[in-house]
Homo-oligomer: A and B are copies of this chain.
């Protein structure tokens, strides 16, 4: 079965869109997905950016909010930008790595995104993360302790470093086994097509 890596950042609203739909699409395409949390902070810093491009370019930021509202409305959900944006997602990303080991990373990631972008909750706040963990039947104290071990911290750093070395510059980014990189939620279908066919031929009806 072909595989793709789904690189995502908890602060990224377009990663949220992908997190909500990737399993269904990948299942239909017959592609296995590896969920790979990373931190965009160091990746933006490598490009000379000290915050989200949506803050640096306010017109783009206002557009992003409007288009998220439109797309989320079509999925039957409100879109709420958390305050501040972007959220500090260090603990959430560390927890997601613990969740990968336990096999509950999909549920955790989705619940964290819904809290953040459908309810506007501050996932930078450990109490909010604890709430989400409780809702998933996990022991928040045990999970957060596992997330904060030096080994787990190093893992997240190594993940982010691996992404930087591939020249990942934003999220979500999908990477196929043959190393093709697809950036943005709107490239999810292309990435799945490439994973199966090794090209984009036929990925949409030609006009």
Contacts and interface: CB of A to CB of B under 8 A. Distances in A.
Interface of A: 20-21, 24-25, 46-47, 57, 59-60, 62-63, 66-67, 70-71, 73-75, 167, 169-170, 180-184, 186-187, 190, 194, 199-204, 206-207
A60 B46 CA distance: 12
Copies of this chain, how many? 2
A206 B75 contact: yes
B71 A169 contact: no
Contacts of A73: 199-201
**4 nearest A-B pairs in the assembled complex, by CB-CB distance:** A24-B207, A74-B200, A186-B186, A59-B169
Nearest to A62: B167
Given A59-B169, A63-B167, A207 B74 contact: no
Residue of A21, A67, A187 contacting most chain B CB atoms (<10 Å): A67
B74 A201 contact: yes
Contacts of A75: 206
A180 B73 CA distance: 15
